[in-house]
């Protein structure tokens, strides 16, 4: 067992964990938000978000919502719901995830079966400390089309192509958005506050839309 603690998160990594035990731990922990579990081929990681981690996650969540609403894009924010595939020995609770292209496929549903229902179109992964699991391989196994990974300083956009992630300079979901603009938004929130930064972001989105009309 390895436990890592810093200002971002606390992580505990365990090997040789059965799927049955993983399912039992999910049921025991429930939706209290105190820990997020990642399971991949017998390896299990508990991650407990601390302030830096969760604050960054919530700010990025505000950014995603503001852009989607400004461009009038239907979406389903799905938080850190459990995405699990027992047939692939893979399970993941993202920091946050969203449906865009597949929003209609899950609209109105209260439970999802990921052997039949599509995975989220976008997942956000905050890694202030390095995970002991290969999180990108886990997301790829689950079929999540786009992943944003933020380590407290750098943000990288990944797109799933032929079963593997490649780094892209624009979000596949929001074609006007580069990682640098997200980092600018996060910095603005620290100096101008969240509400003003969201207003500035919405203005920027509208200006970019008008330039491409």
Q: Is 127 exposed, middle or buried (0-12, 13-18, 19+ CB in 10 A)?
A: middle
Q: Is the pLDDT reported for residue 135 higher than 80?
A: yes
Structural domains in the chain, CATH included, are 51-211 (3.90.1570)
- Number of other CB atoms surrounding residue 166 within 10 Å: 10
Q: Is the pLDDT reported for residue 5 higher than 50?
A: no
Per the prediction, the chain carries an average pLDDT of 93
Q: Are 150 and 56 in contact (CB under 8 A)?
A: yes
Whose tokens are 């003003």? That residue is 196
- Percent pLDDT > 90 in the chain is 85
pTM of this structure = 0.93
Higher-pLDDT residue of 188 and 35 is 188
- Percent pLDDT > 70 in the chain is 92
Q: 130: pLDDT confidence band, cut at 50, 70 and 90?
A: confident
Higher-pLDDT residue of 32 and 7 is 32
Per-residue pLDDT tens for 74-120?
Answer: 999 999 999 999 999 999 999 999 999 999 999 999 999 999 999 99
Cα separations in angstroms, 153 against 57, 157, 198, 199: 13, 14, 20, 23
């Amino acid at each position: 067992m390895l436990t890592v603690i810093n200002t971002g998160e606390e992580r505990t990594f365990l090997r040789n964990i059965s799927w049955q035990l993983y399912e039992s731990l999910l049921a025991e922990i429930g939706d209290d938000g105190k820990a997020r579990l990642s399971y991949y081929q017998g390896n299990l990681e508990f991650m407990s978000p601390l302030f830096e981690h969760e604050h960054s996650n919530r700010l990025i969540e505000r950014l995603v919502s503001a852009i989607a609403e400004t461009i009038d894009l239907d979406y389903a924010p799905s938080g850190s719901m459990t995405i699990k595939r027992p047939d692939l020995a893979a399970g993941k609770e993202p920091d946050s995830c969203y449906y865009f292209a597949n929003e209609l496929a899950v609209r109105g549903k209260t439970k999802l079966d990921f052997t039949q229902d599509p995975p989220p179109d976008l997942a956000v992964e905050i890694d202030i400390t390095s995970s002991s699991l290969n999180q990108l391989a886990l997301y790829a196994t689950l079929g999540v089309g786009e992943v944003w990974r933020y380590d407290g300083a750098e943000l990288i956009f990944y797109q799933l192509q032929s079963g593997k992630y490649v780094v892209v300079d624009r979000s596949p979901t929001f074609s006007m958005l580069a990682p640098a603009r997200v980092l600018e938004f996060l910095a603005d929130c620290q100096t101008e506050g969240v509400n003003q930064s969201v207003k500035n972001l919405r203005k920027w989105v509208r200006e970019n839309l008008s330039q491409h009309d």
